[in-house]
Amino acid sequence: MLSVVLYHIWLFEKQINFGKQLMPDIFGLGYLGVDLFFVISGFVMVSVTRGKFQQPLGTLLFLYKRITRIYPLYWFYTFLLVAAYFFLGTDTTSLAVNLKAFVLLPQEKFPILNVGWTLIHEMYFYVVFSLFLFAPEKWLSRLILIWFFLIIGFNMLIFKTQSITLTPAVFHIIHPLTVEFIMGCVMAILFYHNIKINGHAILGFGILLTITGMMSYSHECGLWLRVLMVGFPFSLLLLGAVTMESDQSKYFSEILRSIGDSSYSIYLSHTLVIMVIARCWKWFPEPGQYGYLIASIFMLLGSLIYGKYSYRLIEYPMILSATKQIPQIFKK
CB–CB of 281/295 below 8 Å?
yes
Number of domains in the chain: 1
Give the pLDDT score at 13. 76
Containing structural domain, residue 29: 2-331
CB–CB of 110/116 below 8 Å?
yes
Give the pLDDT score at 331. 54
Among 135, 96, 129, 101, smallest CA distance to 115 is for 101
Give the pLDDT score at 231. 92
CA 293 from centre of chain: 27
Give the pLDDT score at 151. 93
Give the pLDDT score at 119. 93
Among 131, 120, 129, 113, smallest CA distance to 168 is for 120
pLDDT mean for each 10 residues of the chain (332 residues): 84 68 76 91 93 88 90 91 74 57 82 88 93 94 95 84 75 91 94 78 88 83 89 92 69 67 90 84 66 82 92 91 72 54
Give the pLDDT score at 14. 74
Give the pLDDT score at 200. 80
Give the pLDDT score at 12. 79
Write down the pTM of the prediction.
0.87
Give the pLDDT score at 102. 81
